[in-house]
Structure 1
């Protein structure tokens, strides 16, 4: 009986640690995805759009199968520029969820990475408000590809959210209209060890970025240390 109690206690104590490690790995994977996309020599995200962005969201390894069976969702991470005018450094990352999407570039169970840029203050506030429906609560467009790509189209200039996907070696702008995003509060608790919303983490200044966010934040600081209009 004592052995059973001891085993149960070990399982209870190890569960939070396992959950934290899982979110740390997801955070590291998101950082690697962002690095790979940003450092594409010719076909990545235009750097001037990153300079103009208010927030960056990365969903690594989302699988179409997850959406076919039972409405599961992709999990990723968001970071935003801090400061009253979004002119400060990139924030500690918060875990974010993506739900109810239909992704045209996915084939079978092929994993797809998604990168989204939030392009203005109203978009950032909308994304952080609660659950936001892309294309309804926040205007969206497929992002242009290539460092020298012209971003001066009506759709891009008016969009609050620009999005890209990478699957089977193909990187392209993609529309995620109809999808919803929200703070993944369970994942945030697992990562930081306490109840926190994405808004608390990103704009509340209540937590320090974990070591697992090093790649993600270092890449953003390198490519876009300052916000430009």
Structure 2
């Protein structure tokens, strides 16, 4: 069973190219914002947005989670929080960074599940931790998981969490073992700023200022 899990995850990584990821990220971001009532202050005050257009959970009792996606960092973030090796377009206020998420799960679970996740990063220090490959969800960064369709417009404690996460799957975050998962920069993926996928992703987030 363990070999099957890692075979699935390995093939997922090989088949998922950078430009396709950007286009899927644009579609995922648009869908999340259409189906979730997100507090506007979360969107406008975020320092970065992380989109995992494919987030895989696979296993039985002992399982694994993996996601590959893009972190969009505001260009006005102080240099001390960011890395020089990022993909930016001269006409954009955002820079695109390939990222991955991985972790292990233990408990009652079976089969294979595929979803996507959008995370709004409120704390600039989280961005630096991702560049330094030392961000662990719920350990070095507090996360508020907002279940599909839940109205978060009325939430008043916007400053209490480092990250606000949304999904396309109702009930997905109930019992989802994301605590302990690690987000790091994905050096194996390169983004093309001239690609159609990049253009669509920039268009999707262009309403954010």
Give the structure 1 partner of residue 21 of structure 2: 26
CA distance in 1: counterparts of 2:58 and 2:181, whole angstroms: 15
1:211 positional shift = 3.3
Quick check: 1:55 aligned with 2:48? yes
- Alignment deviations for residues 159-195 of structure 1 (CA, whole Å, 9 cap, x no partner): 111112222xx2776773211000010113xx45xxx
Of the three residues 149, 159, 168, the one matched with 2:153 is 149
1:142 positional shift = 1.7
Would you say the 8 A contact 2:64–2:104 is kept in 1?
no
- Alignment deviations for residues 98-155 of structure 1 (CA, whole Å, 9 cap, x no partner): 0005499x973231111111002222222322231111122222247656622223xx
Considering only CA atoms, is the larger Rg found in Structure 1 or Structure 2?
Answer: 1
Structure ranking higher in strand proportion: 2
1:72 positional shift = 6.3
Give the structure 1 partner of residue 162 of structure 2: 160
Structure ranking higher in helix proportion: 1
CA distance in 1: counterparts of 2:106 and 2:159, whole angstroms: 23
Counterpart secondary structure, 2:115 = strand
Counterpart secondary structure, 1:186 = coil
1:91 positional shift = 2.1
CA distance in 1: counterparts of 2:16 and 2:201, whole angstroms: 17
Would you say the 8 A contact 2:31–2:168 is kept in 1?
no
CA distance in 2: counterparts of 1:95 and 1:73, whole angstroms: 14
Of the three residues 30, 33, 37, the one matched with 1:38 is 33
Of the three residues 181, 194, 201, the one matched with 1:216 is 201
Give the structure 1 partner of residue 82 of structure 2: none
Q: What is the RMSD of the two structures over their aligned residues, measured on CA atoms?
A: 3.4
Give the structure 2 partner of residue 113 of structure 1: 116
In structure 1, runs of 5+ residues without a counterpart are: 1-18, 193-207
CA distance in 2: counterparts of 1:23 and 1:108, whole angstroms: 27
Counterpart secondary structure, 1:92 = strand
Distance change >3 Å, CA 110–CA 149, structure 1 → 2: same
Quick check: 1:184 aligned with 2:190? no
1:209 positional shift = 6.1
TM-score by length of 1: 0.65
Would you say the 8 A contact 1:92–1:209 is kept in 2?
no
Distance change >3 Å, CA 90–CA 67, structure 1 → 2: farther
CA distance in 2: counterparts of 1:54 and 1:209, whole angstroms: 24
Counterpart secondary structure, 1:57 = strand
CA distance in 2: counterparts of 1:134 and 1:85, whole angstroms: 23
TM-score by length of 2: 0.71
CA distance in 2: counterparts of 1:35 and 1:103, whole angstroms: 32
